[in-house]
Amino acid sequence: MPMSFDSPFDRRRLLGHSLAAGGLVSLSGCVSGAGGPAMASRIIGAAPSLAPMRASVDRITDIKVCLRPFRPQGPRLDTEMLGDTLVIHNYGHGGSGWSLSWGSAEVAVGKAAAALPDRLAVVGCGIIGLTSAVMAQRAGMQVTIYTKEVFSRTRSVRANGSWTPDSRIALTAPAGEAFGALWERMARFSWKSFRSYLGLPGNPVDFADNYRLSDEPFTAREEEEAPPPGKGSYASTGMPQDSSEFASYGERIADITPGHEVFASGSTPFAAPYVRRSSNMFFNFSTYGHYLMQEFLENGGKIEIREFHEPGELAQLKEKVVINCPGYAARDLWRDSKLIPVRGQTAWLIPQAEVHYGIYTNNVSALSKADGLMIQGFNGLGDMEGVGDSSELPDRAESEAAVEVIRKAFMGFKFG
């Protein structure tokens, strides 16, 4: 069964890593990015010293459900006039909204700046609205955010929050090459923007090692996980039927994407015989959100709690340029039937400051973040998990099963 995740273990990044059975390394299958160096894999024997994750169901403090706002064509970034108001759309970022936020904001603010407004309105205060607002301020505009909910109550903070810039961002067929180029621009701009948050107090943006555990050598699994792109029946159904339909652009930024290392069998604290390590960026929601809000307010930004019921209400705002960032809610507000919900659920366990890594095993990922040990299960469905499902009710049994998988991964763990 193909797998892909809102986690550092995205199968599409594995395509360039050809590992011979038993852990021998081949560099021949490495992928070269747009002018960048190939990603490489190598074997290392040194065992990392790790503190164990304390995964047990009694340590679950929260279960969060989120809907990825997925559009087969990719996010909506076009403009339209409502009377004398210019509306710039910025919604529909699937499982990549956190990762692409700055790049997408740069595109939207560029369009706004061309109209030379002093004042700008932003609809929505999720990660897309907030970064759009901050970018507009950095470009010299006075900004008011109109939103139903403040940042800490949005769907954005119910996500995983890792660098996953091409997770369910589009389908290959309708998105096309032109979107690939735009995606690359957004991904690169975002990557650079996130780097300025590294090393700040509270670690708003951070990197962690991620260990992929397996009972089998990786070669067979990788081939299984990498179906040829572009197959499927999107055109006939309007809804993806198969994970191979999702667009993958990872090779375009291979030069800024860390590769992975393979451990010699038995040389890690884990009982699993095959272990591979990669490094990935992730976002700590509380501190990162705090930094964004602080910058927005310090630069004179205003927030008005308001719910819009139809597009025409935006034309009543005093600002005549509006960046529209309602996320999945655009399906109703803008009657955008192209928006497809992709449900996802995460369990949050008591934070463990002594643990600074993630693992992926048996379709479950766990990542230790400042605000909790986050565990996300995929039921083996990968990209197709939650497609078309708009239920935002937590399913505790699903989370308990995922926690149990992580608990078992630490049986036989060698500590110290």
Ligand X SMILES: Cc1cc2nc3c(=O)[nH]c(=O)nc-3n(C[C@H](O)[C@H](O)[C@H](O)COP(=O)(O)OP(=O)(O)OC[C@H]3O[C@@H](n4cnc5c(N)ncnc54)[C@H](O)[C@@H]3O)c2cc1C
For ligand X, the binding residue among 12, 71, 91, 208 (CB under 6 A) is 91
Interface with ligand X, residue 159, by CB under 6 A: yes
At its nearest, how many Å lie between ligand X and the CB of residue 209? 17
Interface with ligand X, residue 328, by CB under 6 A: yes
User: How many whole angstroms separate alpha carbon 104 and alpha carbon 183?
Assistant: 9
Which residues 92-111 are close enough to bind ligand X by CB under 6 A? 93-99
Interface with ligand X, residue 339, by CB under 6 A: no
Give the strand pairing for 79-82 and 85-89.
Answer: antiparallel
Q: Are 240 and 229 in contact (CB under 8 A)?
A: no
- Which is closer to ligand X, CB of 164 or CB of 363? 164
Q: Are 6 and 164 in contact (CB under 8 A)?
A: yes
Q: CA angle, corner 393, sides to 391 and 396, nearest 5?
A: 130
For ligand X, the binding residue among 41, 160, 172, 287 (CB under 6 A) is 160
User: How many whole angstroms separate alpha carbon 413 and alpha carbon 358?
Assistant: 15
For ligand X, the binding residue among 149, 255, 295, 392 (CB under 6 A) is 149
What are the structure tokens assigned to 278, written together? 């990669």
Instruction: Number of residues interacting with ligand X: please give it, by CB under 6 A.
Output: 41
For ligand X, the binding residue among 11, 13, 71, 155 (CB under 6 A) is 155
At its nearest, how many Å lie between ligand X and the CB of residue 1? 19
For ligand X, the binding residue among 72, 103, 240, 327 (CB under 6 A) is 327
Among the listed residues 323, 345, 354, the one whose alpha carbon sits nearest the alpha carbon of residue 143: 323
Interface with ligand X, residue 70, by CB under 6 A: no
At its nearest, how many Å lie between ligand X and the CB of residue 265? 30
- Which is closer to ligand X, CB of 77 or CB of 262? 77
Q: Is 262 helix (H, G, I), strand (E, B) or coil?
A: strand
CA atoms within 13 A of residue 326's CA, in its CB half-sphere = 22
Interface with ligand X, residue 124, by CB under 6 A: yes
For ligand X, the binding residue among 60, 66, 108, 275 (CB under 6 A) is 66
- How far is Cα of residue 337 from the mean position of the Cα atoms in its chain? 23
Interface with ligand X, residue 387, by CB under 6 A: no
CA distances from 350 to 94, 346, 355, 356 (A): 28, 13, 12, 14
Kindly report the number of other CB atoms within 10 A of residue 56's CB atom: 15
- Which is closer to ligand X, CB of 149 or CB of 295? 149
Q: Are 84 and 150 in contact (CB under 8 A)?
A: no
89 forms bridges with which residues in the sheet? 324
Interface with ligand X, residue 372, by CB under 6 A: no
Interface with ligand X, residue 257, by CB under 6 A: no
At its nearest, how many Å lie between ligand X and the CB of residue 394? 12
For ligand X, the binding residue among 154, 268, 280, 363 (CB under 6 A) is 154
Interface with ligand X, residue 164, by CB under 6 A: yes
What letter would DSSP give residue 412?
Answer: T
At its nearest, how many Å lie between ligand X and the CB of residue 278? 15
Interface with ligand X, residue 310, by CB under 6 A: no
Strand order in the sheet with 364-369: 42-44, 260-263, 274-283, 205-214, 357-361, 364-369, 372-377, 340-349, 60-70
Residues lying near ligand X in the complex (CB under 6 A): 6, 66-69, 91, 93-99, 123-129, 147-149, 154-156, 159-162, 164, 307-308, 325-329, 333, 344, 346
